[in-house]
Amino acid sequence: MERRNFLRNAALGSLAVSGLSVFGTETASAQKSSNAAQFKLKYAPGFGMFEAHAGKDPIDQIKFISDQGFRAIFDNGLMNREPALQEKIANELAKRNMDLGPFVLYADFKTKSMVTRDPEIMQMLKDKMKAGLEVRKRTNVKTALVVPGRYDEKLAWDYQTANVIDTMRMCCDIVGPEGLTLVMEPLNAHTDHPGLFLTSMPQCYMICKAVNHPSCKIVDDMYHQQITEGNIIPNIDMSWEYIGAFHIGDNPGRKEPTTGEINYLNVFKHIYTKGFDGVLGMEHGKSKPGKEGELAVIEAYRKMDAF
């Protein structure tokens, strides 16, 4: 262990013994938020999750996230950041041996995109894939998120499915040789995204099976899937070969674990037992505002990671 890390951990240990935390408070929740140990799974906060403690600078946020024991971050908006900042983020993560979760490469909730064979849309998607590869070169990110868009009321469902399969294979052929994996995200139609084509884990599994490409995977957003179909653990098992990432959020409310109905303690234990080493994006809000809410998030993950 490096001397700097040893001294930091020793100092944190003495704070925990004295009833204090890294935040200088004496509450039980703050004490449990100590960064004395890394989490078992790669739960990944997004930028802004801990802004009240870390400030607005992305690099300072990475430092804070790392110091709390998290081993990854995710950044949906990574593609829209300046190239210099993308590289800076990647360098800081590399220093701390942290992973970078899926960024949003294509997600247009208003357009009938992959379900069609529109030449202009196909060219747009090819250009998007190439732009995503530039992000990969700068950041070494391994996964990118895609959403097939809206369904077409005038086209038979099976034709739409065939079009999505062909389009995903085309996109994977572009990004796959450069080491980028595409993860499709099924989204719920009941609460958040009515009208989208891809909604369930079995549907996404079938498309991955048909695409038959090593770069075609699933991001299992457990908030969305609890609303759509429930049965979270069995669906994880049935789709396991194609799951490339997870998203976390409790239901109802889409806040941190322990605020809703999902038994994340058992879900996380199951994912860990299966040997998952990818990123679980914390794509949810906070049940409380300010620093108190940020501490509540950390404490919730400590509780759910204690399997």
Output the pTM of the full model.
Answer: 0.89
Enter the tokens of residue 135. Answer: 């992000």
Torsion, CA 215, CA 266, CA 100, CA 149, rounded to 10: 50
> CA separation (Å) from 244 to 31, 84, 170?
34, 27, 19
In order of 114, 116, 209, 279, the CA distances from 164 in angstroms are: 5, 8, 12, 25
> What does the block give as tokens for 73?
């971050």
Q: Which amino acid is at 68?
A: Q
Nearest to 259 by CA among 231, 300, 290, 229: 300
Q: Please report, in tens digits, the pLDDT of each residue of the chain (307 residues total).
A: 443 443 344 434 433 433 334 443 334 444 444 466 899 999 999 999 999 999 999 999 999 999 999 999 999 999 999 999 999 999 999 999 999 999 999 999 999 999 999 999 999 999 999 999 999 999 999 999 999 999 999 999 999 999 999 999 999 999 999 999 999 999 999 999 999 999 999 999 999 999 999 999 999 999 999 999 999 999 999 999 999 999 999 999 999 999 999 999 999 999 999 999 999 999 999 999 999 999 999 999 999 999 9
Enumerate helices (H) and strands (E) in the chain, giving the number of each.
12, 9
